[in-house]
Amino acid sequence: MSAVLSMRNVGVSFRTADAAQPAPAVDGVSLDIHRGEIFGIVGESGSGKSTLANAVMGLLPPNALVSGSIRVNDREVVGLSDDALRSMRGDEVSMIFQDPTASLDPTWPVGDQIAETIRAHYPVNARDAKARAIALMGEVGIADAAARYGDVPHRFSGGQRQRIVIAAALANNPQLLVADEPTTALDVTIQAQVLQLIDRLRRDHGTTVLLITHDLGVVSMVSDRVGVMYGGRLLETAATRELFANPSHPYTRALLAANPAGAPRGTRLPVIPAAWNIESLREAELLRAAAGAVND
Amino acid sequence: MTETASTPIAGGKIESHRHSPKRLMLVGGGILVLLALIAIAAPLIAPHDPEAVEVHRVLGAPSLQHPFGSDVLGRDVLSRVIYALRASLMVSVSAVLASLILAVPLGLAAGYFGRWVDSTISRTLDLILVFPAMLLAVTFIAILGPGSVIAAIAIAVIYLPILARVMRTSTLIVSRNDYIAGSRARGASHLRVLATHVAPNAFGPVIVQASVLSAFALQLEAGLSFLGLGTQPPTPSLGGMLADGREVLIQAPWVEIFPGLAIVVAVLGFTFLGEGLRRAFDPRGVAE
Amino acid sequence: MSRQLGFIVRRLLLTIPMLFVMSIVVFLIIRLVPGDPVRTMLGFRATDANVAELRHRLGLDQSLLDQYLSWAGALLRGDLGKDIVSHASLAQLLAQRLPVTFELTGLSMLLAVLVGVPLGVRAATGGRWIRRLTEGFVVIGISVPDFWLGIVLVLIFAGTLMILPPSGYVPFATDPVGNLRYMVLPVLTLATGEAAYILRTTRGALGSVMSRPFITFLRAKGISPRRIVFGHALRNAGPSIVTVIGIQVGVLLGGAIIIETMFALPGVGRLVVTGINQRNYPTVQVGILAIATIFIVVSLITDLIVAWLDPRVADGAGT
């Protein structure tokens, strides 16, 4: 069994304006993920798991420094040109994100957003792309797909939107799907359905999945193997059943014990901004947009 | 108008802050203080009598004696610019202040009490926006006749809905905070909560907006005076000076250039001050 | 589609109260003049008989409600009354003046959009030097009053280079080239400030769209940067840009009042200013009515375009 995704000693740090010494967000991660496998990475926010996911996709901001080696299907990703990365993304590798509502262009019909992934990589005419997009919508469980092709995202529920995001990401049958907290923004009941969908699709298509989450429940539900990240390092990897039964690293034990988020004493992580703060920021934006602007 | 948070992250590139808010405020505030001092001390520093007509100096080019030259009637342009600053600053600043005095309580009430109070105030003020600003000013003047006081009133009315709306939005955001509900729950009266908790925290954006609008008010006043609808002669005003020199623009450009530059400098002062204040006191970008 | 239709109908209906309020304000202009407006209009030499005659002709001797109803009724029939100085039909006068104002503001906005939007896109997505250049343009464009810019342009193009006329007007139908030559300076004057606004709005709106998560998902799908900017980001920034353009039409119409006077263009703005100076209230009323109506119609069109660009608006799901 060859590795679809192979990382060797991967490190990521960010250059900042005050340039002192960039603190590594990811440090010395080595990992092999095999074909058709769902590999879960668990960690708290700030553990570097999302940075790692974005490094695999080549989606890090320009001030990121990546070291080591990331190979997808034996092709080195680190140092690849922007164009080469782009032709790889959405075709060989794809990624889905936490918030399906925010992931879709609110002004575009959902079907076109699936079809454009196809047309970005293959010389397919509009009609064929549309037919394929409708088939994909059906496959991810959107009822009456042909009729709903032209609907804009806000006419769908959160769970349906994530299904559409998955369809758009898997439109070209990528070998690797990176799923960054794909169910966090969804209701608990919908979470399970979306995880089942991801599980079914990887069985049907042999897709390899790198599943990033802070939620041990999500990992236990679908992952074949699990890696635990903390402070930018991969502490341990094990088969899911084994990790839950017999965690070897003290942090993993603490994580399992103090579920959902219990860091060992004295290793406090950066505080997450309070939710209301973000909300009121958004509120200001909305109010302003609604009010319009008049100046003379 | 709207520029969210002033740090647009364009394609992952993080905009560097070349102008710190402090420096912008200092430059803007410095320009304005200087202009205000010049206006106040006009009788002391003006080299000539702004009204003194000197026939032999008609359209005289700039010289050591008359650095900005002299106008159609041979009056010293520099002295007239110095005096004209008085009218221009007076009208624009008092207009915005008057607007602010009305807008703050209206916006506070609309944002804090919400419901029918909000909709009554907001809908009524919205009616003012049916007219473009300049047209509303002209309409006002059509009714009440030209003059600097009327121009100031017109400008104050035009900016009322904008300032009130900004105050309303920031009040709305501040009112959502838990400590507001907390102090209400501890039995504080609405008035007390408004005065001690809401208003002080909601002030930032409206001050920013007032500063930005002062720049527009200055241009509006100059425009009205240019049309002969604002400050009336013989009181020198920057807009009026521009109108006087229009006929002789090509022969004697200094008659137009210097009053125009004075407007540009004053507008820049308010713009810099407003932009600096915005970055310092309106991180959420409530002001437009 | 029916939701879209519903929105259009609701927005059209909203225009009626706006026009109503505006018509009342315009109607009241003459009635609010302190003292006796008719005497003010006619001057001190007017006889009592003249005053009574004009008061009757303007309907000022009736009750306020009757006055409004007959005035508004006449308006709706297309009867705008007569200019009290030249006794010309105001409908005809307006028909001569409106094309000038339309040409001036239309060309100015066209130029401002053609310059402001592309530069705004470059400013939001380009490198450091383009951001600095555009920032400089924005500061200058916003801080320089348009009438002073007009003066400088006249000095350069009419005074020094002598390649364009400093002021004046010929109708397009009479002399198309001459008409455009007269329009160049006024249009440049009005368009520069507007272009700066539109640039700033485009840059701000596009910049905030580019930092939204769906842009990351588009990149994850391998969509080209060009397509992301022009196919998706600009489409999402569109409503903000169009809204500002709509509001700025009002600013342009206001600016046109000054610029028409300055460049001796016989437009509606100049009509109003001359009317005010001559205490020619019926003409002032008609001019203000015309400009305000244009603004209300432009706001309507703007909102409809915004609803078309952003389907959520018509659905009432907020923006």
Percent of residues, chain A, with pLDDT higher than 90: 34
Q: Determine whether the interchain pair A286/C318 forms a contact, defined as Cβ–Cβ distance below 8 Å.
A: yes
Q: Which CATH superfamily is domain C98-279 in?
A: MetI-like (1.10.3720.10)
Whether the CB of A122 is below 8 Å from some CB of chain C: the reply is no
Asked whether residue B288 is assigned to any structural domain, the reply reads: no
Whether the CB of B10 is below 8 Å from some CB of chain A: the reply is no
In chain B, whose CA is at the least distance from the CA of A279?
B173
Q: Determine whether the interchain pair B288/A283 forms a contact, defined as Cβ–Cβ distance below 8 Å.
A: no
Compare B185 and A264 and report the one with higher pLDDT: B185
Task: Tell me the CATH number at A275.
Answer: 3.40.50.300
Compare CB distances from A287 to B162, B172, B178 and report the shortest one's residue. Answer: B172
Chain C CB contacts of A107 under 8 Å are: 232, 235-236, 238, 309-311
Asked whether residue B230 is assigned to any structural domain, the reply reads: yes
Nearest CA-CA distance, residue A94 and chain C, Å: 6
The pLDDT score that the predictor gives to residue A208 is 93
Q: Determine whether the interchain pair C216/A295 forms a contact, defined as Cβ–Cβ distance below 8 Å.
A: no
Strand, helix or coil for residue C145: coil
Q: Is the pLDDT of residue B111 over 70?
A: yes
On whether the CB atoms of residues B160 and B101 are closer than 8 A, the answer is no
Q: Determine whether the interchain pair A293/B213 forms a contact, defined as Cβ–Cβ distance below 8 Å.
A: no
Nearest CA-CA distance, residue A294 and chain B, Å: 7
Chain B CB contacts of C26 under 8 Å are: 139
Nearest CA to B18 among B214, B199, B275, B288?
B275
Mean pLDDT over each residue of chain B, to the nearest integer: 82
Compare CB distances from B285 to A280, A284, A291 and report the shortest one's residue. Answer: A284
The pLDDT score that the predictor gives to residue A25 is 87
Compare CB distances from A99 to C213, C243, C254 and report the shortest one's residue. Answer: C213
Compare CB distances from C219 to A89, A108, A296 and report the shortest one's residue. Answer: A89
Chain B CB contacts of C125 under 8 Å are: 10-11
Mutual angle of helices B254-281 and C146-153, in 10-degree steps: 140
In chain B, whose CA is at the least distance from the CA of A64?
B12
Compare CB distances from A293 to C224, C244, C318 and report the shortest one's residue. Answer: C244
pLDDT tens series, chain C, 319 aa: 567 788 888 888 888 888 888 898 888 888 887 777 787 777 777 788 888 888 887 777 778 888 888 888 888 888 888 887 788 888 899 999 999 999 999 999 999 999 999 999 999 888 788 888 998 898 888 888 887 888 889 888 888 888 888 888 888 888 899 889 999 999 999 999 999 999 999 998 998 899 899 999 999 999 999 999 999 999 999 888 998 898 889 889 999 999 999 899 999 999 999 988 888 888 999 999 999 999 999 989 998 888 888 777 766 544 3
The pLDDT score that the predictor gives to residue A258 is 61
In chain B, whose CA is at the least distance from the CA of C196?
B1
Q: Which helix (H) or strand (E) holds A41?
A: strand A38-42
Whether the CB of A126 is below 8 Å from some CB of chain C: the reply is no
Q: What are the beta bridge partners of residue C112? A: none
The pLDDT score that the predictor gives to residue C35 is 72
Subunits with 3+ C-beta pairs closer than 8 A to A: B, C
- Cβ-count burial A271-295 (b if 16+ within 10 Å, e if not): eeeeeeeeebbebbbebbbebbbbb
Strand, helix or coil for residue B26: helix
Chain C CB contacts of B257 under 8 Å are: 151-152, 155
Distance from C-alpha of A72 to C-alpha of C122, rounded to nearest angstrom: 34
Subunits with 3+ C-beta pairs closer than 8 A to C: A, B
The pLDDT score that the predictor gives to residue C314 is 66
> Chain C interface, mutation test: which of B139, B241, B250, most C Cβ atoms within 10 Å?
B139
The pLDDT score that the predictor gives to residue B8 is 32
The pLDDT score that the predictor gives to residue B13 is 28
Asked whether residue B170 is assigned to any structural domain, the reply reads: yes
Nearest CA-CA distance, residue A285 and chain C, Å: 10
Chain B CB contacts of A19 under 8 Å are: none
Residues found in chain A: 296
Number of domains in chain A: 1
For residue A215, the number of C-alpha atoms closer than 13 Å in the C-beta half-sphere is 17
Percent of residues, chain B, with pLDDT higher than 90: 19
Q: Which sequence spans correspond to the domains of chain C? A: 1-83+311-319, 98-279
The pLDDT score that the predictor gives to residue C87 is 80
Q: Determine whether the interchain pair B173/A283 forms a contact, defined as Cβ–Cβ distance below 8 Å.
A: yes
CB atoms within 10 A of CB C70: 12
Q: Determine whether the interchain pair C315/A154 forms a contact, defined as Cβ–Cβ distance below 8 Å.
A: yes
Q: Which residue has the tokens 């930018």?
A: A232
The pLDDT score that the predictor gives to residue C289 is 92
Distance from C-alpha of B108 to C-alpha of B195, rounded to nearest angstrom: 10
Q: What is the pLDDT of residues C291-306, one digit of tens each?
A: 999 999 998 999 888 8
Instruction: Tell me which residue range forms the domain holding B134.
Output: 20-281
Q: Determine whether the interchain pair B2/A63 forms a contact, defined as Cβ–Cβ distance below 8 Å.
A: no
Whether the CB of A184 is below 8 Å from some CB of chain C: the reply is no
Asked whether residue B233 is assigned to any structural domain, the reply reads: yes
On whether the CB atoms of residues C228 and C269 are closer than 8 A, the answer is no
Q: Is the pLDDT of residue B98 over 90?
A: yes
In chain B, whose CA is at the least distance from the CA of A290?
B169
Q: Determine whether the interchain pair A296/C251 forms a contact, defined as Cβ–Cβ distance below 8 Å.
A: yes
Number of domains in chain B: 1
The pLDDT score that the predictor gives to residue C77 is 86
CB atoms within 10 A of CB C63: 9
Tell me the average pLDDT across A158-181.
91
Q: Is the pLDDT of residue B126 over 50?
A: yes
Task: Tell me the CATH number at B56.
Answer: 1.10.3720.10
Whether the CB of B220 is below 8 Å from some CB of chain A: the reply is yes
**Any residues with CB less than 8 A from the CB of C292 and at least 6 apart, and which?**
B130, B131, B132, B135, C22, C26
The pLDDT score that the predictor gives to residue A262 is 33
Q: Determine whether the interchain pair C227/A103 forms a contact, defined as Cβ–Cβ distance below 8 Å.
A: no
In chain B, whose CA is at the least distance from the CA of A294?
B162
Nearest CA to C290 among C306, C310, C263, C267?
C267
* Chain A to chain C Cβ contacts (< 8 Å): 100
What is the ipTM score, two decimals?
0.84
Distance from C-alpha of C12 to C-alpha of B277, rounded to nearest angstrom: 40
Chain A CB contacts of C236 under 8 Å are: 105-107
Q: Name the amino acid, one letter, at B128.
A: I
In chain B, whose CA is at the least distance from the CA of C22?
B130
Q: Determine whether the interchain pair A294/B285 forms a contact, defined as Cβ–Cβ distance below 8 Å.
A: no
Nearest CA-CA distance, residue B206 and chain C, Å: 20
Q: What is the pLDDT of residues B139-162, one digit of tens each?
A: 888 888 888 899 999 999 999 999
Strand, helix or coil for residue A26: strand
Asked whether residue B11 is assigned to any structural domain, the reply reads: no
Tell me the average pLDDT across A1-23.
80
Chain B CB contacts of A284 under 8 Å are: 169, 173, 284-286
Distance from C-alpha of C252 to C-alpha of C51, rounded to nearest angstrom: 38
Q: At B66, list the tokens.
A: 């008359």
Q: Is the pLDDT of residue A140 over 80?
A: yes
Tell me the average pLDDT across A280-293.
42
| pLDDT tier for residue B105 given thresholds of 50, 70 and 90 | very high
Q: What are phi and psi of A44, to 5 degrees?
A: -80, 170
Whether the CB of B268 is below 8 Å from some CB of chain C: the reply is yes
Nearest CA-CA distance, residue B181 and chain C, Å: 27
On whether the CB atoms of residues B24 and C138 are closer than 8 A, the answer is no
On whether the CB atoms of residues A202 and A36 are closer than 8 A, the answer is yes
- Report, in angstroms and rounded to the nearest whole number, the Rg of chain A calculated over CA atoms: 20
Nearest CA-CA distance, residue A262 and chain C, Å: 29
Whether the CB of A86 is below 8 Å from some CB of chain C: the reply is yes
